[in-house]
């Protein structure tokens, strides 16, 4: 480990324990304590993916209590915001899900620069207050049957917490793991994909516990989950540490330029310049196209499997439209297992592909996503027509692994191209591509499906054209990725500009909290590292176990 100099100007007096310089690690700190801190936050905010478990109970709140009925079709969205006389529709409730990712992208883009200067601890705590506080506001909205409070609480305030929590560890992990950038960010972003695996079954269990004949128990579940998440997120935020300026792993030196790392710069681009740099927009297109294709499939995976294979899923030679209610329920259960299987590949792909990118290089990894992904999308119509369920399922699973891998690999791609000084803020700007893809993907798949159904095309064939359109979308991403070149020298900060930014970012050479007091400079106890990993590993293992139970329904 590099030598840590002492700066006499750094002291505890006059500085808050939330300040970035108070989180600088002392000599002997074990960098493997940082990933579980990031996972603690990402596993909590990742429940955004699992909010759909609340839709049906919430859409029958008044009916369950015997105090109302479903809103009539002429009751619009604005009226449902304040009505207390009828239940919200599932489509209306879905707006919370949309707002999650809109405000995630906006918050990450707007406050990414502040995060770099304030540090991950402060950002993590703000994220915990927004995400968990938003859930409490939503709980009160459920109690008073005011949907606008749920929109404000979880959609807006919670969405801001999502954005800050999502990007809070990116810059820190990349700086702690310059030798394994992809693996480090892959571990954290894997947690975001795995949040629903823990949160969804937990929510179901809590609703069962709190449910009464007149109350589905959703409000109480929101309160309990908010409190649990707050404990985990605060613990994660307090566990964040940033490396001293100039730190590098012991015995590690930056590799010489080679074919797979020629674009890894040792210099830094200021976030304010990023909008005018072509490479940023090329990577923006790369992420947007990869996510658009993947999110279009993940959103329709369950109905797609049911409509394409129909009765063949339960050994009945009949099309989807020819099945009775009992048979439809049976294939719906199988499709639920299929969706659970996809979630495992989504999560695993985030870690595996991001780690593999450390060996292949980021550009080649995305090339694999687009080429292999294009072939897999193109194969789906033919495997569906031939009734090859295993080939169809295998292709979709690989597609979802690359969907997750794209999220996890892109922070390291940005760090390679633009340096690490502002990589968290630049990543925040890039997440606007996710918000865009969140609109494009469902629009392409859903509207194409509805249009083809209106033209009388059989249900088992309505996805064929869509798959070829998604191949075209991947082709656009492939071209953009090929065009990525090393950033021109004129875009990088000079040494003097970098020194100013480091001062503004409170990057001192010594810590005034971790680096002082009894025990300072001693090696981190191995037991502490193990306990930190168990704290996040055990809930994740439980979530995977519950998911595997659902996957078993698919194979049975």
Place of tokens 């791609």: 413
Q: Report the pLDDT value the prediction gives residue 513, as an integer from 0 to 100.
A: 41
Query: What's the rounded Cα separation, in Å, for the pair 54 and 133?
Result: 18
Residue 456, sorted as left (phi over 0), alpha (psi -120 to 50) or beta, turns out to be left
Residue among 174, 480, 525, 175 at smallest CA distance from 357: 174
- Residue 69 DSSP code: E
Better pLDDT: 397 or 500: 397
Query: What's the rounded Cα separation, in Å, for the pair 525 and 233?
Result: 22
The pTM assigned to this predicted structure is: 0.85
Q: Specify which residues 242 forms β-bridges with.
A: 24
Residue 309: in which H helix or E strand, if any? helix 301-309
Mean pLDDT in residue range 409-416: 94
CATH superfamily of 29-243+510-556: MFS general substrate transporter like domains (1.20.1250.20)
Exposure letters 193-210 (e unless 16+ CB within 10 A, then b): bbbbbbbbbbbbebbeeb
Digit-coded pLDDT (tens) for 283-324: 999 999 999 988 877 767 777 888 888 888 888 888 877 888
Q: Are 41 and 261 in contact (CB under 8 A)?
A: no
CA 494 to chain centroid: 34
Place of tokens 């996510």: 291
Digit-coded pLDDT (tens) for 189-226: 898 888 888 998 999 899 999 989 888 999 999 999 99
Digit-coded pLDDT (tens) for 19-70: 777 888 888 899 999 999 999 999 999 998 888 888 888 888 888 777 777 7
Q: Report the pLDDT value the prediction gives residue 330, as an integer from 0 to 100.
A: 83
Query: What's the rounded Cα separation, in Å, for the pair 546 and 530?
Result: 24
Query: Cβ-count burial of 52 within 10 angstroms (0-12 exposed, 13-18 middle, 19+ buried)?
Result: middle
Q: Report the pLDDT value the prediction gives residue 511, as an integer from 0 to 100.
A: 41
- Fold entry, domain 262-492: Growth Hormone; Chain: A; (1.20.1250)
- Residue 180 DSSP code: S
Q: Report the pLDDT value the prediction gives residue 236, as an integer from 0 to 100.
A: 95
For the chain, give every residue range classified as CATH 1.20.1250.20: 29-243+510-556, 262-492
Query: Cβ-count burial of 114 within 10 angstroms (0-12 exposed, 13-18 middle, 19+ buried)?
Result: middle
């Amino acid at each position: 480990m590099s030598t840590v100099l002492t700066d006499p100007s750094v002291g505890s007096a006059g500085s808050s324990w939330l300040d970035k310089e108070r989180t600088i690690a002392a000599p002997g700190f074990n960098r493997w304590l940082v990933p579980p801190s990031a996972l603690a936050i990402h596993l909590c905010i990742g429940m955004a993916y699992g909010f759909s478990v609340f839709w049906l109970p919430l859409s029958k709140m008044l009916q369950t209590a015997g105090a109302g009925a479903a809103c009539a079709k002429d009751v619009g969205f604005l009226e449902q915001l304040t009505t207390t006389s009828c239940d919200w529709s599932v489509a209306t409730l879905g707006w919370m899900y949309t707002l999650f990712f809109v405000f995630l992208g906006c918050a990450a883009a707007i406050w990414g620069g502040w995060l770099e200067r304030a540090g991950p601890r402060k950002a993590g705590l703000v994220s915990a207050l927004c995400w968990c506080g938003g859930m409490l506001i939503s709980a009160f909205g459920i109690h008073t049957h005011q949907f606008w409070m749920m929109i404000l609480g979880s959609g807006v305030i919670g969405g801001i917490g999502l954005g800050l929590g999502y990007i809070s560890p990116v810059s820190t992990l990349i700086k702690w793991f310059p030798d394994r950038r992809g693996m480090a960010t892959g571990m954290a972003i894997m947690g975001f994909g795995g949040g629903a695996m823990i949160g969804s079954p937990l929510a179901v269990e809590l609703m069962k516990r709190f449910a009464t004949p007149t109350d589905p128990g959703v409000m109480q579940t929101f309160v309990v989950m908010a409190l649990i998440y707050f404990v985990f997120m605060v613990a994660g935020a307090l566990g964040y540490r940033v490396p001293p300026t100039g730190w590098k792993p012991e015995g590690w030196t930056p590799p010489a330029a080679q074919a797979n790392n020629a674009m890894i710069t040792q210099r830094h681009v200021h976030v304010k310049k990023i909008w005018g740099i072509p490479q940023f927009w090329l990577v923006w297109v790369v992420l947007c196209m990869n996510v658009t294709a993947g999110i279009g499939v993940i959103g329709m995976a369950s109905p797609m499997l049911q409509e394409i294979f129909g009765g063949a899923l339960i050994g009945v030679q009949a099309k989807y439209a020819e099945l009775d209610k009992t048979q439809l329920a049976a294939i719906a259960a199988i499709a639920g297992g299929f969706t659970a299987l996809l979630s495992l590949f989504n999560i695993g792909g985030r870690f595996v592909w991001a780690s593999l990118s450390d060996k292949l290089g980021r550009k080649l990894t995305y090339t694999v996503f687009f080429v292999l992904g294009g072939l897999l999308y193109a194969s789906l119509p033919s495997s569906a027509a031939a009734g090859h369920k295993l080939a169809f399922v295998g292709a979709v699973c690989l597609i979802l692994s690359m969907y997750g891998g794209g999220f996890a690999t892109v922070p390291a791609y940005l760090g390679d191209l633009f340096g690490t000084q502002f990589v968290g803020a630049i990543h925040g700007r890039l997440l606007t591509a996710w918000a865009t893809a969140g609109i494009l993907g469902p629009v392409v798949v859903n509207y194409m499906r509805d249009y083809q159904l209106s033209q009388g095309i059989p249900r088992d064939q309505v996805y064929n054209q869509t798959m070829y359109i998604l191949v075209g979308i991947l082709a656009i991403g492939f071209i953009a990725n090929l065009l990525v070149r090393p950033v021109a020298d004129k875009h990088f900060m000079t040494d003097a500009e970098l020194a100013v930014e480091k001062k503004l970012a409170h990057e001192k050479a010594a810590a005034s909290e971790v680096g002082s007091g009894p025990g300072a400079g001693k090696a981190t106890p191995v037991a502490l590292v193990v306990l930190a990993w168990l704290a996040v590993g055990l809930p994740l293992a439980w979530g995977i176990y519950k998911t595997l139970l659902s996957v078993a329904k698919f194979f049975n």
